[in-house]
């Protein structure tokens, strides 16, 4: 079983990467393979509503000059999807939204019905709004949304600060355990009851 993780930040090794890497490490402990794919920092098209992908049943976006189709091609081999994004003005990164909208519309049949989760990374506010936006496509695609001990939010502004958010990283590990449990339960493995929680690591930011 394999989980595809999408790093929707223009910074390849920033705080979003720290959050996703924590998920990937815990998935590995649970015996679940994962792959983190970065959307990059080059221009990404928005959907032009040309409808050529659907009209021609292409299984990909008709525009093939950015990362969108490379990510979309990975849908078929993935058993689950996790998407991470920084928060900009209370919203996910616009380039990531463009990738998801085009990939889901042109190749949705290869990701529909598979478990999914989103992660929002921010300095302070807007994370829950961005988190909600990221979850919207999953619900339209019949994808079970995997939860954690809290909303999937990690805090940090400058690169590396997310590593200081102990509660946020614990939330990532809990998400990974819940994802592994659901995958095992739905793929014939004898998974025990829901994974036990770690002792709560509360983290507050006043400085």
Above 80 in pLDDT, residue 190?
no
pLDDT at 115: 98
pLDDT at 193: 78
pLDDT at 197: 87
Q: What is the pLDDT of residues 75-92, one digit of tens each?
A: 999 999 999 999 999 999
Of the listed ranges 6-15, 174-183, 190-199, the least confidently predicted one is 190-199
The neighbour count for residue 192, using CB atoms within 10 Å, is 9
Q: What is the pLDDT of residues 110-130, one digit of tens each?
A: 999 999 999 999 999 999 999
Above 70 in pLDDT, residue 19?
yes
Give the domain 2-186 fold. Rossmann fold (3.40.50)
Mean pLDDT of the chain: 95
pLDDT at 8: 98
> Bridge-partner residues for 34, per DSSP?
3
pLDDT at 205: 76
Question: Which CA distances in Å does 178 have to 57, 117, 122, 168, 170?
Answer: 35, 10, 23, 15, 12
DSSP 110: G
Question: Which CA distances in Å does 108 have to 54, 103, 154?
Answer: 10, 7, 28
3-state secondary structure 140-203: HCCCCECCCCCCCEEECCCCCHHHHCHHHHHHHHHHHHHHHHHHHHHCCCCCCCCCCCCCCCCC
Above 70 in pLDDT, residue 207?
no
Above 70 in pLDDT, residue 206?
no
pLDDT at 194: 79
């Amino acid at each position: 079983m394999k989980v595809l993780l999408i790093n929707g930040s223009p910074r390849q090794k920033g705080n979003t990467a720290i959050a996703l890497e924590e998920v990937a490490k815990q998935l590995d402990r649970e015996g679940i393979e994962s792959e983190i794919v970065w959307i990059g920092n080059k221009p990404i098209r928005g959907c032009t509503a040309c409808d050529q992908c659907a009209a021609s049943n292409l299984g990909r976006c008709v525009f093939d000059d950015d990362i969108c189709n490379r990510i979309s091609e990975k849908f078929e081999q993935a058993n689950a999807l996790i998407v991470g994004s920084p928060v900009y003005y209370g919203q996910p990164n616009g380039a990531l939204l463009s990738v998801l909208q085009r990939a889901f519309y042109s190749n949705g049949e290869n990701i529909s019905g598979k478990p999914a989760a989103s992660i929002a990374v921010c300095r302070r506010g807007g994370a829950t709004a961005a988190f909600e936006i990221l979850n919207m496509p999953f619900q339209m695609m019949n994808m079970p949304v995997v939860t954690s001990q809290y909303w999937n939010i990690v805090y940090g502004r400058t690169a590396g600060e997310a590593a200081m958010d102990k509660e946020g990283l614990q939330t990532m590990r809990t998400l990974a355990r819940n994802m592994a449990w659901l995958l095992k339960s739905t793929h014939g493995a004898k998974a025990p009851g829901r994974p036990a929680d770690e002792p709560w690591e509360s983290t507050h930011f006043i400085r």
